Amino acid sequence: MRFPRHTKVFRGQLDAAPYAGVFFLLAMFLLLSSSIVFTPGVPIDLPEAADVPGVTGPMLAIAVDHGSRIYFDNQVTNEERLRQRLRDAVANEPEVTLVIQADGEVDWRTVARLILVAREAGVKRAVQATRPPVVPVPRIGEVQ
């Protein structure tokens, strides 16, 4: 078998379109996987706490933003509607745990008032949601 010996090295201009396409695809993937993308929901900065156990069993969640607006099932609500909706939920599931996701700037009186509303509605257990600390907290008696 004879191989052709008259092949020449390409000496023309490179086409930039394939490179631009790959660049824009990479840019899209980076932007979509970054924190620049808006995620829907209520912006809440939970307080930090270490070694807090999680919740097991059925639960309901209430969110309270820094403006003390109350959210239940992704809708803004007031205490009366919240009390009625919690009564309905407790009627369906009596051993439900209420998780209060309150912003760190929310006054403690607001959280305490929500716990009282939940008790009136029949909720037996209410806990406040926290997030783990960014820097691990040393345990008491632990040498650093």
Confidence of residue 9 (pLDDT cuts 50, 70, 90): confident
| pTM exceeding the 0.85 threshold for the entire prediction | no
Task: Quickly state the pLDDT bin for 32 (edges 50, 70, 90).
Answer: confident
The secondary structure element, H or E, covering residue 128 is: strand 125-128
Inform me whether the pLDDT recorded for 111 exceeds 80: yes
List Cα–Cα distances, 47 to 58, 83, 104, 108, in angstroms. 23, 25, 5, 12
- CATH no. for 59-128: 3.30.420.270
Which residues are within 8 A (CB) of 85 and not within 5 positions of it... i.e. 6 or more apart? Answer: 72, 73, 77
Separation between Cα atoms, residue 64 and residue 114, nearest integer Å: 10
How large a percentage of the chain has pLDDT more than 90? 42
Greater confidence, 87 or 54? Answer: 87
Q: Which carries the bigger pLDDT value, residue 29 or residue 141?
A: 29
pLDDT at residue 88, as a whole number: 93
